[in-house]
């Protein structure tokens, strides 16, 4: 008989007042009792709708069944057949639009907390040290460019098949967006470094400070003896609005702000890298990155932080949970509002942001209702810092230095469902192909590409 509790088993979290002042993880994870209780809410539907909602098709009811009987190692084995980064995905996947959106329990009440259970299982597994057996080498080598979710997954899959894999990372630390983008309070860096240590234990070589396209090109890698190259370089280039005043001091791309805070650790006292501790902050945009930037600004000591977003609450692209967390912590939301100018003082430092009110018109190409300016509704918001979280596009460095690599007009690399590009032996996946998406989709792409690379090399 399933547990008919209507709501998800609550996950302990730091209180909003407390966490808004520290960078520690917001949610604290289930206890064993919580996890078993939540697992018994699963109805084990015959048609398994939740699995169809998972981009990498984890056997969700099977792992939940193991949790329900307290076999957490068994649950981990089920998940790890499909996913290589469960501790990460359990935290950052948008479950409410994926697996949990399909959960039958969600019709009358809340869906099963699949993400919370995944996280519990992964954390539980990571508490213990596991011996990693080095696979038998198969004598072939592959280069992976970029160490974000797609690159790490592709590298791990190939290493397990016996390939000698070298990952080339442009920054000084591996992890890509998991390290420079997602803040500590949402994804502790110790989780990412554990995943990377596990890869190293599998025999994967990680070379940092390697900007492919500058230090070496994709063709150099192929000439140096790598039989295939996987490109998982993500979407690193920040967008700006092209409105007056964007060069004022105190205007940052979310990438810059988050990189200073996360990768460079600028939030810590005595850090070598500075970050502005602004008092009145506007964050422009409504995605997860905007929420991350807003919540970081708050933790750095801002008196007020306002999300400025041109569409409405319904259209906010961020995960529901992130929006809720941000609100609880005191982030203000100015929805249906669009900046038109950033106003600087005599030293070109931000003094205010001039905005205009919007209303929703007809649906646009994305299916969302297009925001239209309300005439005469301009107003000024006094701020000393503006963070632009408007999305990112692919870095053109690889495209411009790799002959014969086809790209879309917006810069994305053209690749089929297995990651094969227009160049033989060159595969690509993740955001560099799809544009900004999720960790789990990038992971899935890394995995399919690994299979395709294996097939390509075996059939050579």
Question: Which residues lie near another protein (CB under 8 A)?
Answer: 170-172, 180, 208-211, 214-216, 236-238, 240, 242, 246-247, 249, 252-253, 255-256, 259-260, 264-265, 271-274, 347-348, 395-397
Q: How far is the CB of 395 from another protein (least distance, A)?
A: 5
Q: How far apart are CA 354 and CA 356, in angstroms?
A: 7
Q: How far is the CB of 415 from another protein (least distance, A)?
A: 21
Q: Which is nearer to another protein, 349 or 374 (CB)?
A: 349
Contact 84, 447 (CB under 8 A): yes
Residue 68, exposed/middle/buried by CB under 10 A (0-12, 13-18, 19+)? Answer: buried
DSSP string, 208-236: -S--BTTTB-HHHHHHTT-SEEEE-----
Q: Which is nearer to another protein, 205 or 368 (CB)?
A: 205
Q: How far is the CB of 388 from another protein (least distance, A)?
A: 8
Q: Which is nearer to another protein, 52 or 273 (CB)?
A: 273
Q: How far is the CB of 281 from another protein (least distance, A)?
A: 16
Q: Which is nearer to another protein, 344 or 446 (CB)?
A: 344
Q: How far is the CB of 202 from another protein (least distance, A)?
A: 24
Q: How far apart are CA 231 and CA 144, in angstroms?
A: 6
Q: Which is nearer to another protein, 348 or 460 (CB)?
A: 348
Widest CA span of the chain, in angstroms? 70
Give the torsion through C-alpha atoms of 333, 336, 337, 338, to 10 deg: 130
Q: Which is nearer to another protein, 68 or 385 (CB)?
A: 385
Q: How far apart are CA 3 and CA 41, in angstroms?
A: 5
The pairing of strands 385-388 and 280-284 is: parallel
32 SS3 class: helix
361 SS3 class: strand
Please state whether 376 falls in left (phi above 0), alpha (psi between -120 and 50) or beta.
left
Q: Which is nearer to another protein, 134 or 214 (CB)?
A: 214
Q: How far is the CB of 176 from another protein (least distance, A)?
A: 11
Q: How far is the CB of 242 from another protein (least distance, A)?
A: 7
Q: How far is the CB of 398 from another protein (least distance, A)?
A: 11
Q: Which is nearer to another protein, 31 or 273 (CB)?
A: 273
DSSP 105: G
Contact 358, 375 (CB under 8 A): no
């Amino acid at each position: 008989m399933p547990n008919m509790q209507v709501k998800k088993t609550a996950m302990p979290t730091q209180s909003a007042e407390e966490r808004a002042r520290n960078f520690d993880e917001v949610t604290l994870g289930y206890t064993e009792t919580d996890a078993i209780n939540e697992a018994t809410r699963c109805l084990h539907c015959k048609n398994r709708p939740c699995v169809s909602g998972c981009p990498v098709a984890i056997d969700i009811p099977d792992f939940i069944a193991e949790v329900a009987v307290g076999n957490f190692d068994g649950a981990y084995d089920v998940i790890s057949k499909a996913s290589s980064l469960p501790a990460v995905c359990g935290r950052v996947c948008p479950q409410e639009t994926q697996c949990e959106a399909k959960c039958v329990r969600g019709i009358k009440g809340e869906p099963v907390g699949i993400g919370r259970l995944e996280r519990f299982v992964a954390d539980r597994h990571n508490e213990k040290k596991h011996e990693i057996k080095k696979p038998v080498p198969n004598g072939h080598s592959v280069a992976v460019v970029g160490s974000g979710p797609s690159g790490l997954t592709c590298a791990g899959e190939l290493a397990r098949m016996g390939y000698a894999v070298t990952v080339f990372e442009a920054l000084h630390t591996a992890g890509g967006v998991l390290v420079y983008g997602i803040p500590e309070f949402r994804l502790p860096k110790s989780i990412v470094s554990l995943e990377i240590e596990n890869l190293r234990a599998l025999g994967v070589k990680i070379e940092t400070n390697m900007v492919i396209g500058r230090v070496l090109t994709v063709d150099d890698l192929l000439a140096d003896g790598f039989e295939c190259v996987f490109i998982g370089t993500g979407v690193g280039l920040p967008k700006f609005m092209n409105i007056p005043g964007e060069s004022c001091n105190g205007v940052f791309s979310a990438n810059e702000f988050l990189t200073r805070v996360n990768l460079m650790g600028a939030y810590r006292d005595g850090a070598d890298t500075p970050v502005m501790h602004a008092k009145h902050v506007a964050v422009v945009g409504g995605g997860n990155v905007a929420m991350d930037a807003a919540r970081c600004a708050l933790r750095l000591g801002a008196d007020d932080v306002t999300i400025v977003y041109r569409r409405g609450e319904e259209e906010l692209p961020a995960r529901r949970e992130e929006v809720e967390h941000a609100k609880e912590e005191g982030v203000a939301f100015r929805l249906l509002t669009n900046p038109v100018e950033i106003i600087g003082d005599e030293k070109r430092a931000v003094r205010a942001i001039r905005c205009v009110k919007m209303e929703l018109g007809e649906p646009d190409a994305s299916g969302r209702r297009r925001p239209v300016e309300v005439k005469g509704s301009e107003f000024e918001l006094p701020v000393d810092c503006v963070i632009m979280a408007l999305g990112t596009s692919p870095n053109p460095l690889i495209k411009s230095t790799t002959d014969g690599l086809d790209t879309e007009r917006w810069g994305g690399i053209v690749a089929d469902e297995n990651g094969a590009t227009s160049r033989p032996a060159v595969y690509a996946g993740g955001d560099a192909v799809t544009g900004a998406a999720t960790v789990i989709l990038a992971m899935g792409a890394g995995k399919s590409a690994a299979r395709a690379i294996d097939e390509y090399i075996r059939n050579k």
